[in-house]
Amino acid sequence: MLRLFLTGTAVLMALASLSVAQACAEHHGAQHEVVGVGKTETVEIGPLRMSGFYALPTPPATRNGAIFLHIENAAQHADRLISVTAAETAQKVELHTQTIDASGIMRMRLVSSFEVPPNGALTLEPAGDHIMLIGLKHPLEAGKTLPVTMKFETAGERTFQIPILAPAGDAIRSDDTAVQHEDHSHH
Ligand SMILES: [Cu+2]
């Protein structure tokens, strides 16, 4: 089992989660059907319907990024997200679960797949399960998109563009501010 203590990234992600709902609301306000122009609403693979996908922008020195999305499964059987590749953007891509332990430390854990339950849904979101981009080849820039290929055990694979959305309110401004904020929040 691989346990990661990527506190810097975790703190940034925790901060980002404060404003993500707003960013998503803005994103969902626009209706576009064209895949790959940064305003994509849904992508379907067989009975799987992916929506609300985005990545957060990263500061220049940041090594890792994360992708979030919602996956609905209309089938009577479960499926599994078994791999994600983003070769243009990151050296590798991992599937991570994220929990907060008893002492308030965020822990990310590498998993081999995410289950999408039958007639159910899987939501990857900040401070929860997520797709992690490891070793960014360039910073994630708000307003751009990054291509990913998501592969499911049963439904197969699909390549599409993930929009990079700036969180509203400038939550990600400086690592120092983020760390201090995190310290105070646990007193
Ligand atoms: Cu992670």
* CATH assignment of the domain containing 44: 2.60.40.1890
Share the mean pLDDT of the chain: 77
132 CA distance to ligand 1 centroid (A)?
A: 5
88 CA distance to ligand 1 centroid (A)?
A: 19
Q: How many domains does the chain have?
A: 1
Helix ranges (DSSP H) in the chain: 7-29, 175-184
172 assigned to some structural domain: no
Side-chain half-sphere of 160: how many Cα atoms within 13 Å?
Answer: 25
pTM over 0.75: no
35 CA distance to ligand 1 centroid (A)?
A: 26
Token output for 2 = 């691989």
63 assigned to some structural domain: yes
95 assigned to some structural domain: yes
16 assigned to some structural domain: yes
- Among residues 81, 22, 10, 24, the alpha carbon closest in space to that of 55 is found at 24
Lowest mean pLDDT among 33-37, 53-57, 116-120, 171-175: 33-37
Query: What is the average per-residue pLDDT within 141-160?
Result: 96
180 assigned to some structural domain: no
Cα 115 from Cα 45, distance rounded (Å) = 15
52 assigned to some structural domain: yes
147 CA distance to ligand 1 centroid (A)?
A: 19
Exposure letters 7-28 (e unless 16+ CB within 10 A, then b):
eebbbbbbbbbebbeebbeebe
2 CA distance to ligand 1 centroid (A)?
A: 12
- For CA atoms 128, 134, 136, 137, the dihedral sign is negative
pLDDT at 26 over 70: no
90 assigned to some structural domain: yes
- The parent domain of residue 99 ranges over 3-167
> What letter would DSSP give residue 12?
H
pLDDT at 173 over 70: no
60 assigned to some structural domain: yes
